Amino acid sequence: MSTIEYIGPRPQKPVNKSWGGGWLMILFVVVGVGIVAKPYISQALARNSPVTELKVEETVAWLGQADAFGNQLAAAALKRTKEDITYDPAYYNISYPNGDVPEGKGVCTDVVVRSYRALGIDLQQLVHDDMEANFRIYPQLWSLKGTDSNIDHRRVPNLQRFFSRFGQEMALPEMSAARDFSYGDVVAWRLPHGATHIGVVVPGPGDRRDEKWIVHNIGSGPRWEDKLLEYQLIGHYRYKGTQ
């Protein structure tokens, strides 16, 4: 009987694997990734952490260290975030001047109007007076033949026109950066679905005070959020009241 010749690879003696080296390599990779990712993880956690009333009070107090008008307006806007407001775009008959929609209701423009009113500036009356004298230079978007003191000051395009006439209208560079804005600036945006939106520039909370955040109401009541450059900018204004 002929023998069968083995033609496969030569059998190798089993080699004992060194598990220590492999685990050390994995450990080094994990530690390295952690070091690199730490700033981004911290930033993400900070973005998602709730903004508490304590942080609001701390930031309002910090803003109060300077008497600049922008600081005062930013502080007034931050105080709005402590109010429980239901987003309500309904039309209301309100008094004039110093009229307001029912307590606990409002939209984005009401954040701006109420923040200025806290400083003694009644945008309802100011916008109405200017529109009475110059109705045709204001946006003609609502098929109206005259002014309406119930709603004119609660429309973003009207506030934009008023601020551009009586305040500083800042240029909008192609690539805006947070450094282009100051506390108390009023900013208008166009949202993805085409609607206009408006809010007030404020500091970030805690150790992020060097950042520029906003107070706005986009549907869930006044919120303090890191969303200044999240939407399409269509207006940037500084208005300190009539001189």
Q: Which pLDDT belongs to residue 150?
A: 98
- What is the C-alpha to C-alpha distance for residues 183 and 171, in angstroms, rounded to an integer? 17
In the structure, what pLDDT confidence band is assigned to residue 173 with cuts at 50, 70 and 90? confident
Residue 127 burial by Cβ neighbours in a 10 Å radius (0-12, 13-18, 19+): buried
Which residues, other chains included, contact 227 with Cβ-Cβ below 8 Å and sequence gap of 6+?
213, 214, 216
- Mean residue pLDDT of the chain comes to 87
List, for residues 98-147, the tens digit of each pLDDT value.
999 999 999 999 999 999 999 999 999 999 999 999 999 999 999 999 99
- What is the C-alpha to C-alpha distance for residues 219 and 89, in angstroms, rounded to an integer? 10
- What is the C-alpha to C-alpha distance for residues 40 and 62, in angstroms, rounded to an integer? 27
Domain boundaries, the chain: 19-49, 53-238
List, for residues 82-107, the tens digit of each pLDDT value.
999 999 999 999 999 999 999 999 99
List, for residues 11-56, the tens digit of each pLDDT value.
555 555 555 556 556 655 545 544 544 444 444 444 445 678 889 9
Pick the CATH number of 53-238 from 3.40.50.720, 3.90.1720.10, 1.10.443.10, 2.60.200.20: 3.90.1720.10
Distances (CA, A) of 106 to 20, 80, 153, 183, 218: 63, 11, 13, 23, 10
Q: Which pLDDT belongs to residue 48?
A: 47
- What is the C-alpha to C-alpha distance for residues 23 and 33, in angstroms, rounded to an integer? 15
